[in-house]
Amino acid sequence: EVQLVQSGADVKKPGESLKISCKGSGYSFTSHRIAWVRQMPGKGLEWMGIINPGDSDTRYSPSFQGQVTISADRSANTAYLQWSSLKASDTAMYYCARRRGWRSGWQYFDYWGQGTQVTVSS
């Protein structure tokens, strides 16, 4: 059974750093890219970026470039999303999701993590 299991909720203060994780199981982790998606309270889904766990090639949305870092450890079947200096506006639910394939028509997200709630408050 394919599963993406994310790390638990976290509460941080502005300026602190944070790294959340997404562990894949039940499939070949290096065969599918992993994306990160933000959902701010009461708002829609925003694609943040995507990583190829096989070679760590990463693409970022222009909105998130330079604001976060996406990485992966293929030996641990885990992808990460990290911040070096959190802001209150980073308060949101963050989902990881597996991309089904690279060809046109298959570029959708077929499995999702349960989400990680990040709260940034002084």
Residues that bind another protein (CB under 8 A): 33, 35, 37, 44-47, 50, 59, 61-62, 95, 97, 100, 102, 104-110, 112-115
Based on CB atoms, which residue is closest to another protein, 17 or 65?
65
Query: Least Å distance between CB 90 and another protein?
Result: 18
The count of C-alpha atoms lying within 13 angstroms of the C-alpha of 53, restricted to the half-sphere facing its C-beta, is 27
Query: Least Å distance between CB 122 and another protein?
Result: 26
Query: Least Å distance between CB 16 and another protein?
Result: 26
Tokens in use for 12?
Answer: 């941080």
Taking a C-beta distance cutoff of 8 angstroms, is the pair 10, 120 a contact?
no
Phi, psi of 29 (to 5 degrees): -60, -35
Based on CB atoms, which residue is closest to another protein, 50 or 68?
50
